[in-house]
């Protein structure tokens, strides 16, 4: 029975939201960040990169404190305003491919995360958890929601549709050609009904934001030991969408060398694992689970996992990212740790195999694999069995912008 609560968001004024909203800091190239910081004084990047003001790279606790200062300046200047009463926020995104995502922004319970009512499918890195915990403690806010998913609910969809018949508070289009809409929901009866519908669900699943969730839990534990009067730190901001609105794409894998083999030797090794079809220069993507596209020595191949390798004992073993690791990357190419091995790199998101091909042709990598996207049910099954996926198993949409709604807990 997940507990999702409304909150008084700190958010941009209507006229400035398109200027403030930004992607996650690390998704920009250095030149992109520089251009936005130089040309847009309202970008949320000015808050998360406070050293720009001093033409200096600042890190650690000093940076965290300056982030807090920049944030307070935006509030003091009236760039951000505070909601009058606790609210949920219906949020819709229509991306450049005309895919539509509709969900509700609210605050999810840390206790539900700790009790596995909010389930996870990725391992987190302790050092990253601790660093982000200290960041949260210094800044006192969440600016980018964790993405949670739930089974489709006709009643929740109906509530959202009724709200969306009204004029949206925000409507803006990004340079990525995604259009974003937001409707605050403060009517007490509607708010109570939304809470009740979430509470009836047996669990929620993290789609994206494992480190943000775990860091929020660490912070809550710290602050609860200090007897902080407010309970806001026991929640973290989340964007909660139906499973049918989730879009899952795959990351490709690129490997710098064949561990001493030439391409023919490598193909012979693969033959005992896959049925192999050489498609020459024809660009090809895998069309089903347990099929892989490989680009090697100027040729595309389709690899179909042989039947005797399809005797799976759990949900993780049936995941294509795990199959590729267990049968190819580890035993043949000697990649033991896919998180740390410098010979392995990842192509990002959907439809990236053309750029991957270019990198192989330039001999930056020897071979590349494209995977069929995992199904949402596979992710749920892995979570339910208490297992975790290999790194970069999924690239999940939607991606929200930072700074559109902010959850203050300190």
Q: Which residues pair with 252 in a beta bridge?
A: 347
**Domains of the chain from N-terminus onward:** 4-248+397-408 (no CATH), 251-393 (3.30.1760)
**pLDDT at residue 258 greater than cutoff 60:** yes
Q: pTM for this structure?
A: 0.92
> Residue 130 — pLDDT band, cuts 50, 70, 90?
very high
Hey, how many other C-beta atoms are within 10 angstroms of the C-beta on 187?
13
What does the DSSP assignment read for 80-134? EEE-SS-BEEEEEEE-TT--EEEEEEEEEEHHHHHTTSEE--B---HHHHHHHHH
Crossing angle between the packed helical segments 210-224 and 126-139, to the nearest 10 degrees: 60
What sections of 296-352 are H helices per DSSP?
320-324
Helices 60-76, 126-139: crossing angle, 10 deg rounding: 40
335-369: pLDDT as tens digits: 999 988 999 999 865 556 778 899 999 999 999 99
pLDDT digits (tens, 9 = 90+) for 81-108: 999 999 999 999 999 989 999 999 999 9
Residue 214 is inside which H or E element, if any? helix 210-224
Bigger pLDDT: 242 or 124? 242
* Strand 10-12 with 146-150, pairing: unpaired
């Amino acid at each position: 029975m997940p507990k999702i609560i409304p909150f008084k968001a700190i958010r941009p004024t209507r006229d400035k939201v398109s200027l403030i909203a930004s992607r996650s800091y690390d998704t920009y190239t250095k030149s992109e960040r520089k251009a936005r910081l130089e040309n847009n004084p309202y970008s949320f990047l000015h808050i998360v990169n406070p050293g720009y003001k001093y033409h200096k790279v600042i890190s650690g606790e000093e940076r965290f404190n300056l982030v807090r200062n920049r944030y307070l300046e935006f509030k003091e200047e009236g760039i951000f305003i505070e909601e009058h009463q606790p609210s949920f926020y219906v949020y819709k995104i229509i991306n450049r491919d005309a895919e539509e995502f509709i969900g509700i922004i609210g605050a999810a319970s840390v206790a539900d995360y700790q009790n596995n009512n909010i389930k996870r499918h990725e391992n987190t890195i302790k050092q990253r958890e601790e660093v982000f915990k200290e960041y949260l403690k210094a800044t006192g806010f969440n600016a980018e929601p964790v993405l949670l998913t739930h089974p489709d609910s006709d009643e929740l969809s109906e509530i959202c549709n009724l709200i969306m018949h009204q004029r949206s508070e925000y409507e803006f289009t990004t340079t990525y050609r995604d259009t974003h809409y937001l409707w605050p929901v403060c009517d007490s009866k509607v708010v109570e009904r939304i809470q009740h519908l979430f509470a009836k669900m047996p669990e929620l699943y993290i789609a994206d934001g494992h480190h943000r969730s775990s860091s929020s839990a660490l912070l809550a534990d710290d602050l609860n030991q200090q007897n902080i009067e407010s309970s806001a730190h026991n929640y973290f901001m989340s964007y909660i969408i139906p499973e049918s609105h989730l879009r899952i794409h795959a990351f490709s894998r690129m490997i710098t060398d064949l561990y001493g083999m030439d391409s023919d030797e490598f193909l012979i090794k693969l033959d005992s694992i896959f049925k192999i079809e050489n498609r020459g220069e024809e660009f090809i993507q895998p069309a089903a689970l347990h099929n892989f596209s490989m680009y090697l020595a100027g040729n595309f191949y389709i690899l179909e996992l042989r039947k005797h390798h399809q005797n799976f004992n759990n949900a993780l073993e049936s995941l294509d990212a795990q199959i590729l690791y267990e049968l190819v990357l580890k035993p043949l190419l000697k990649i033991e740790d896919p998180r740390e091995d410098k010979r392995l790199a990842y192509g990002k998101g959907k439809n990236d195999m053309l750029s991957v091909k270019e990198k192989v042709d330039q001999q930056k990598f020897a071979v590349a694999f494209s995977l069929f996207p995992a199904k949402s049910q596979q992710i749920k099954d892995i979570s339910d069995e208490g297992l975790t996926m290999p790194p970069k198993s999924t690239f999940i949409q939607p991606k929200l912008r930072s700074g559109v709604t902010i959850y203050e807990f300190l």
